[in-house]
Amino acid sequence: MDGVMSYAEAYKIVAERNHLNYQMEATYEPYDETEILNERHDYREMIGDGNCVVRSVADQFWENQELHDEVRQAGVARLIKFRELYEAVYEENPINGLSYDEYVRHIARPNVDIHPFFTQAICDAYGVRIIEMVSDANYCIAEFTPTDGEVTATIRLISSSRHTDSMYLLDD
């Protein structure tokens, strides 16, 4: 169900679709729901095929979630080109026991769920600030900012433990 709604309304939709508990990542912080919940957003549901995060970013950039592979490949290219920057961070907390090279090969494949580590690479590749609102009992938010600090745009995502959709903040 796409359409204009508050975060609280979108939360109800996502929560109804996903009935699993979510373990917060260390980068997620609790947020003041009174501000976020009352903002008006245009909520856009993404196809749930393992590409939902990159679909959401593509939707934000080009209003076309089918361009998700462009986003995935930009993130992968960033991990390869700036290996020294990312590898040390990755090795502190490897995902599923994969080496850095194995992870890069894994994440390059379509329909593979991404992790906050890869969200940071996407953020850096495009110079965007990504605000990810997690819709579960923990009510938390993750904010990813480009490593170089230069923000060209801000995009908003709404996530549960199984899915991510796109949210556009509407002007008053």
Can you tell me the distance from the alpha carbon of 85 to that of 64, in angstroms, rounded to the nearest whole number? Answer: 30
Could you list the residue range(s) of the whole structural domain that residue 28 is in? 3-169
Confidence (pTM)? 0.78
What tokens appear for 89 in the block?
Answer: 């961070």
Count of domains for the chain: 1
Residue 157 DSSP symbol = E
Instruction: Give pLDDT tens digits for 72-82.
Output: 999 999 999 99
At 131, the pLDDT band (50, 70, 90 cuts) reads confident
Check residue 29 and give its pLDDT. Answer: 45
Mean pLDDT of 164-169: 88
The CATH number covering residue 23 comes to 3.90.70.80
Mean pLDDT of 33-61: 83
Check residue 28 and give its pLDDT. Answer: 41
